[in-house]
Each structure stands twice: as structure tokens, then as C-alpha cells.
Amino acid sequence: MGSKVHCAHILVKKLSLAQEIKTKITNGESFANLAKQHSIDSSKKRGGDLGFFGRGTMVQEFEKAAFVLEKGQVSDIVKTQFGYHIIKRLD
């Protein structure tokens, strides 16, 4: 497990929308395109790309999910105080 991971995410306010997006990703739709369409985070311009980050940078729930993903893997829906995230490991 490296000290940094490179992830992208999609952040939405409603669980129902997160579930809908997660289904689209599972069915092969582009994570980056869905991020650009739906994410409420400023990273949406980059297809959700958050770049590399180390431990202690993100909120605990987000970090916990991000660091266990394998390259190319997409997380389950992760709830934080910001809303509902779907995280994809890029590195």
C-alpha cells in the first residue's frame, strides 16, 4: 500500500442520484463523463480527478475507501459530511 493514491470522485447530495450513477458506471459508462455531468465538486472539470493525495488529506470515510481500492476499481457509495461520493482509483 503506497503512501499516496491517485483517485477521481463524483460527489452528489442525494443517495438516489449516487445509486443511479453507480449503476451507470457498473454498466460501462465513462466515470469521467459522469463526473463532469453530475459532480458538485470543483474537480468535475477534470472528470473528477483529485490528483495524488496522502493519508490525512481527505475526510476519514473518503480516505478509508480510497486507500483500499485497487487500480481501476470503483468504490461503493461513500457518505461524508459533503454528500455521497463514488471514488475511482486511477494510479
User: Which pTM does this prediction carry?
Assistant: 0.96
Residue 36 has pLDDT above 60, yes or no: yes
* Alpha carbon distance, N-terminus to C-terminus of the chain: 12
Residue 82 has pLDDT above 80, yes or no: yes
Give the per-residue pLDDT at 59. 97
Q: What are 45-81's pLDDT values in tens digits?
A: 999 999 999 999 999 999 999 999 999 999 999 999 9
- Helix (H) or strand (E) run with residue 6 in it: strand 4-12
Q: What are phi and psi of 70, to 5 degrees?
A: -90, 160
Give the per-residue pLDDT at 2. 63
| Residues in a beta bridge with 87 | 9
- The answer to whether the beta carbons of residues 9 and 42 sit under 8 Å apart is no
Residue 53, domain extent: 4-89
CATH number for position 32: 3.10.50.40
HSE, CB side, 13 Å, CA atoms: give it for residue 1.
Answer: 8
Q: How many domains does the chain fold into?
A: 1
